[in-house]
Amino acid sequence: MLRHRRSSQPFVRFMQLLTAAMVSVVAGAVSHAEVVRLEIKSVEPAFDGQSFGDTGTYERIRAVAHHRLDPTLPVNAGIVNIGLAPREADGRIAFDADVEILVPADRRKANGRMVYELVNRGRSLMLASLNDATRDSPAGNGFLMNQGYALVMSGWQVSYPIAGVVPMSLGLASRFPDAESSGLLYARLPTARNADGTPITGMTREQFSDMGPAKTFIAHLTYPAATLKQKTHLQVRNLELDAATTPTGLKWKLLDEWRVEVQQAPVTPDGAIYEFSYVARDPIVYGLALASMRDLVAFLRHDTSGANPLASPGGAGVTHTIGLGASQTGRTLKELVYEFNDDEQGRKVLDGAFIMISGAGKNAVNSQFARPGVKEAHHGYRGVRGDEFPFSYPLTYDPLSRQWGGVVARCQGLHDCPKIIHLDSENELWHGGALTFVDAVGNDMAMPDNVRVYAVAGSEHSSRPSGRTPPICKIEASSGINWAPFARALFTALDRWVTSDTVPPTSRYPTRVAGQLVPPDEYAFPVLPAVHFYGAVGRRYLWDRSSEPPAKLADYPVFVPQSDRDGNMLGGLRHPFMDVPLATNTGWNPRKAGMGEGDICIASGMQLPFAATRQARLANGDPRPSVAERYLSVQDYLDRVQLRIDQLATQGYLLEQDKAAIIEAAQDAIDSYSAAWN
């Protein structure tokens, strides 16, 4: 039975889709789709039947895509262990993935554009990033639905075999054992085996941090230990740049194939970083996750057999496709473009790619013993596959690895590149992200014609900061810069670029030539009573991966975004609250004492408000001019903010619909300073 059925339309649609699913094997063969069957699980009204402008209501379709991949085709040759994956009788590789589709109930109201999101740890971030959706308001402001987009999400990470466990390398997706009980979206990918059927084994490495003060902790492994009777290695370092050692008193043992018990040394601080090396077995053929994304998009775009819920009679079908990813899925979307943007029939898959908060590098998907839930970050994982050259889009030469490379090099050669908008927060720059903008020797790079890049000054990893930072951070107030309005405007620009070839706004990111990217020892952050700069910044290295842990061979150049006299970042895409400031907003935040003090938090920024008056700031030893010294009155401040808002909207960086909310936030912020002019 369908829940919350307001009319017969969803039920009729459900029966149509179930009938289509029953014949999809034959239909898939006719259309040469690698999704041989889209198994519809449920169809129901979305968002409690809420209507969106002229589009009307949406329906939610939950399904499972059944994939078959031909391992002999050249387009699939780069998938690691493709020759060691189990095959069906016809020689193809079988796997499946969970799918969720949000589409106008009246297909005639769909705008013909499909937004495909490869979900992050089983969960979609699309509506949170672009619609300002929350748990209490799942549709948010309705931005995407008001325009009639078909929204498609699919799982690609595998679930963890032990319920209730969250290995650090997997993250939130592992909290539940399957999609049925959690609502999360997963993929079921095969395990590689030797030709004789025996398990594949190899050295691999786990990393743990912030394990707390308990004398003993238990950590879970991403891949099972090949045997309990093996020599394992455990090293620990207190800060990012400390040498890894095995201190006296540090003990550990494998409890079973999935768990290691660690007895911490007496001198180990709560924020220590552990690296555990062991022999694992049963690597997942994770590169098939990329193929699942490619082939689902191709199926929904091209299949006209009746098995495709986006190709219903009377609708526009899919005329254009835009991929979307945020954080680790932004890096994964980059990996997808890097590996292939063509399907098994040679057809272009994505017309556009909206890549958010991904930093420099790709994701550790297509590798032996892949851990796609982690990234290279300060005081965290290092030596991660995926976070290695090429770090950015243009074709460049890396003198350290002696390679040529670029994220779009392959698709440029095949003339099937998507148009790409890359949007980072300032936080990504503090974790090695400057290599998005400079080459391997530190020179500014020009982006390819199909790529636009933006870095939002003063912002942190989250689009809408919560106001408070994690307990490991020294400064409790998070950055106050909301980059979601920029994301909406730039997504709109990408849509126009894809559909009508309208050129998007000019890239905005810091450069060396303008003095906006500098070595850490030239960073001019002011000396403030609350905090000072420790010199900590994420780095990238060339690794010798012939052993675990890998050995560092060389350092890539390190740059950070320079600050003005207030401590605010220079250059980049600038929110009105950065050009008309009431506070210092940064993309970095130091870790507190006992939690790796001296290093920086992985995703957090900070906000340090200005004093109201000159007298107050002098009493506090604050060198930054006070609010009363900057602005003549409350109205003077608001007028300056309004001017900046209008300029950004004229330039295409803000939508008209977001202007009022920013000026309202400015009014709320300045109200607390109103007494400064009395």
In tens, the pLDDT along 535-549 reads: 999 999 999 999 899
In this model, does residue 309 exceed pLDDT 80?
A: yes
Instruction: Say how far apart CA 491 and CA 421 lie, in whole Å.
Output: 8
Q: Predicted confidence band at 167 (pLDDT cuts at 50, 70, 90)?
A: low
- Report the DSSP beta bridge partners of residue 263: 216, 251
Tokens of 430: 């503090």
Domain boundaries, the chain: 1-192+285-318, 201-281
- pLDDT score at 10: 38
State yes or no: pLDDT of 246 exceeds 90. Answer: yes
Q: Quick one: average pLDDT of 603-625?
A: 97
Please tell me the predicted confidence (pLDDT) of residue 239.
92
The closest of 443, 331, 445, 424 to 384, measured between CA atoms, is 331
Which tens digit of pLDDT belongs to each residue from 56-83? 999 999 999 999 999 999 999 999 999 9
Cα separation, 441 vs 444, in Å, equals 9
Amino acid sitting at position 351:
D
Give alpha helix (H) positions in 159-233.
179-182
Q: What is the pLDDT of residue 174?
A: 39
- Residue 291: CB partners within 8 Å, gap ≥ 6? 34, 67, 69, 76, 79
Find the length of the chain: 678
- pTM value is 0.93
Provide the pLDDT for residue 390. Answer: 96
**pLDDT per position as a tens digit, 79-133:** 999 999 999 999 999 999 999 999 999 999 999 999 999 999 889 999 999 999 9
CB 171 within 8 A of CB 373: yes
Contact of 432 with 538, CB cutoff 8 Å:
yes
Confidence of residue 169 (pLDDT cuts 50, 70, 90): low
Nearest to 267 by CA among 208, 215, 218: 215
Tokens of 483: 């980059």
Q: Residue 15 pLDDT > 90, yes or no?
A: no
The pLDDT mean for the chain works out to 91
* Confidence tier at 35 by pLDDT (50, 70, 90): very high
Q: Is 103 exposed, middle or buried (0-12, 13-18, 19+ CB in 10 A)?
A: buried
Q: How confident is the model at residue 173 (pLDDT cuts 50, 70, 90)?
A: very low
Q: What is the pLDDT of residue 182?
A: 60
Give every CB contact of residue 197 below 8 A, 6+ residues apart in sequence.
none
Which pLDDT band, with edges at 50, 70 and 90, does 168 fall under? low
Sign of CA dihedral 38, 42, 48, 53: positive
Residue 393 has pLDDT above 80, yes or no: yes
Mean pLDDT confidence for 549-578:
97
Q: Name, in order, each residue with C-beta under 8 angstroms of 260's C-beta and a sequence gap of 6 or more.
A: 206, 218, 219, 221, 232, 252, 253, 254, 276, 278
